[in-house]
Amino acid sequence: MEGNSGFEYGPFIRFQRVPMPLLLPLDRSGAPGQRSYRRVQLEGELFQGVVETSKQGVHPVVNGSNLVGDPVLLPHVCLPKKNAQERVERVVYKSCHEIAEDARLGRVKPRELWQNIADKVHYNEPAGEAERDQMLLHFYKDGYASRRYSIARAVRKHHDARVTMENVPREYAFLPDGSAFLQHRSADMHIYYSAEVLEKACQLNLSALVADGVHDLQPDATNKTGQLYVIHGVMADSVDVPLLFAITKRDMWYKWDVRELRTTNIAESFNRLLGVRLGVKYPRMSDLLFALRGCVTTAKGALLNLETRRQAKRLHKKDILRRRRIEREMARFKSILDRTRNFPRTSTITTYCRRMSRFVTEKVV
């Protein structure tokens, strides 16, 4: 022990009391008051071990192994009291950062993203089985609701609120190759199509057009009252592609004296796939235009495939037989029309319709 100025525990750790100036309170002379505090000094060669702290003071290093260097730089493992909680928060923070940086993850459903993060937490390789269970318990909390805000905030960074019926930024009005995508714009209607795709479809024997409204998708930019209409092109080789998209501010699909109307398989298949891709009934305008641009790309790929392949797509045997029967029935009815000078009886028309109904599905208008 070195007098009253300090205490020494062991040969290498020393306490010293040094005066420390304080701003408040002032002493009687007007000078700042002073108080003493204890500071740890490390001197000489150090030993590897643990320095234990307590209210009474600092105990000397225990362990007799020699060490060269600063003990702060020693390899060690710091296990905080809430280690599982800290690791979960790091995984969640890193995952949300990845979602905010990757535009593809921004179009995934938030609940699916939450499930992916839960898998990362539970199957964390460095953690042991008991610690993984603690991490999963802390992550789950009240289920999806406890993490919904954090995930939704990361996803919202990819949603462009600038896209409305009155304002369509250039990156949405043009295709990636620089060609125009938005061809007509008014207060009540937008028309989108690719001139290149339309031209190529006409060159490949465009034989029919099928128009239909996607009733399960109302863009939010239309106050959830608008409508998306799609015109599909059908080629002679039984290939169909979406050619034109129209977004209106109100529903323009009218039906008179029709209780039930079913669309064709072409339109229904496209509507279903588009709905699955967007995942919501009221998609954001930016998400909808992004999906429609993808449809233009796939349509161009289908037309290129049709242009380069050597022969038309072969039908199944049952489809070939069905086509022959339809042609036979139509030829039979045409001969009846020729004999009756285009004035057949009602019973003849009824019989023809009944025969043809065997070859037509209920999903066709």
User: What CA–CA distance (Å, rounded) separates 348 from 354?
Assistant: 10
In the block, residue with structure tokens 């802390």: 138
User: What CA–CA distance (Å, rounded) separates 31 from 22?
Assistant: 10
pLDDT above 60 for 346: yes
The pLDDT value recorded for residue 38 is 45
Percent of the chain residues topping a pLDDT of 70: 64
The pLDDT value recorded for residue 195 is 92
Average pLDDT over residues 197-221: 78
Confidence of residue 193 (pLDDT cuts 50, 70, 90): very high
The pLDDT value recorded for residue 155 is 82
- Give 2's DSSP letter: B
pLDDT above 60 for 342: yes
- Give 315's DSSP letter: P
What's this model's pTM, rounded to 2 decimal places? 0.51
Task: State which amino acid sits at residue 248.
Answer: T
Per residue in 111-159, pLDDT (tens digit) is 888 888 888 888 876 667 777 788 888 888 888 888 888 888 888 777 7
pLDDT above 60 for 61: no
> What count of residues does the chain have?
365
- CA 175, 228, 271: angle at the middle one, nearest 5? 90
Confidence of residue 192 (pLDDT cuts 50, 70, 90): very high
pLDDT above 80 for 267: no
Alpha-carbon dihedral 97, 102, 103, 108, rounded to 10 degrees: -70
User: What CA–CA distance (Å, rounded) separates 204 from 266?
Assistant: 18
User: What CA–CA distance (Å, rounded) separates 87 from 82?
Assistant: 9
Confidence of residue 220 (pLDDT cuts 50, 70, 90): low
Confidence of residue 264 (pLDDT cuts 50, 70, 90): low
Which DSSP string do the residues of 17-79 spell out, in sequence order? EEEEEEEEEE-TTSSEEEEEEEEEEE-SSEESSB--EETTEEPPPB---EE-S-GGGS-----
Average pLDDT over residues 339-358: 83
Per residue in 156-191, pLDDT (tens digit) is 777 766 778 888 888 888 998 889 999 988 888 899
Q: State the average pLDDT for the chain.
A: 72
Decide: 159 and 106 in contact? Cβ < 8 Å. yes
- Please write down the HEC assignment for all residues of 138-180: HHHCCCHHHHHHHHHHHHHHHCCCCCCCCCCCHHHHECCCCCE
Task: State which amino acid sits at residue 339.
Answer: R
The pLDDT value recorded for residue 47 is 44
pLDDT above 80 for 361: no
More confident residue, 88 or 52: 88
Per-range mean pLDDT, top range of 23-32, 43-52, 355-364: 355-364
Percent of the chain residues topping a pLDDT of 90: 4
Lowest-confidence region among 113-117, 200-204, 357-361: 357-361
- Please write down the HEC assignment for all residues of 130-148: HHHHHHHHHHHCCCHHHHH
